[in-house]
């Protein structure tokens, strides 16, 4: 088991271990949510993740359709995880909350239409998308 947590530790997650399902998202909403030029999530089956603490929920329309629910610490503000209508069986975990520099790298890079030009999500196996994962980019 590995742990993910917010900055102050009031909200934490228990995860079964590393996952290969890691995705970077460059959409404007992820940029605003994280305060960083892109967000990175590690995806797990909902039943594999145990949440401790009482995160606050923020719901917004997803750029790729439906709604997405973000769970963040009301004390320190860190988003620790989220659930999207279009991936109902999965939970996304903020990779920064896991704080493991050896965690697997992203295999998907979405919404590259709003990617900062200096950002490169590298690696031979990475799938690149101009928008959501339904529209594969030609590049």
Which residues make up the interface to Zn ion (CB under 5 A)? 6, 8, 10, 25, 27, 30, 73, 75-76
Residue number with CB closer to Zn ion (27 or 93)? 27
From the CB of 139, what's the least distance to Zn ion, in Å? 19
SS (H, E, C) 77-107: CCEEEEEECCCCCEEEEEHHHHCCCCCCCCC
The position carrying tokens 């996304």 is 92
Q: How many CB atoms lie within 10 A of CB 90?
A: 18
Dihedral angle over CA of 115, 32, 91, 126, nearest 10: 10
Q: Which two tokens stand for residue 47?
A: 């039943």
Residue number with CB closer to Zn ion (73 or 90)? 73
From the CB of 28, what's the least distance to Zn ion, in Å? 8
35, 5, 45, 23: which is closest to 110 by C-alpha? 23
From the CB of 137, what's the least distance to Zn ion, in Å? 15
From the CB of 38, what's the least distance to Zn ion, in Å? 8
Residue number with CB closer to Zn ion (10 or 127)? 10
């Amino acid at each position: 088991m590995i742990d993910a947590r917010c900055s102050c530790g009031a909200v934490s997650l228990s995860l079964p271990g590393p996952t290969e399902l890691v995705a970077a998202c460059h959409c404007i909403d992820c940029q605003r949510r994280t305060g960083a030029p892109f967000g990175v999530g590690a995806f797990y089956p909902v039943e594999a993740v145990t949440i401790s603490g009482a995160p606050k929920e923020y719901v917004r329309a997803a750029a790729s359709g439906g709604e997405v629910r973000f769970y963040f610490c009301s004390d320190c503000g860190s988003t620790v995880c989220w659930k999207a209508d279009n991936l109902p069986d999965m939970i996304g975990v903020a990779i920064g909350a896991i704080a493991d520099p050896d965690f697997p790298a992203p295999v998907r890079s979405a919404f590259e239409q709003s990617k900062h030009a200096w950002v490169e999500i590298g690696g031979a196996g990475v799938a690149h998308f101009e928008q959501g994962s339904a529209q594969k980019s030609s590049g």
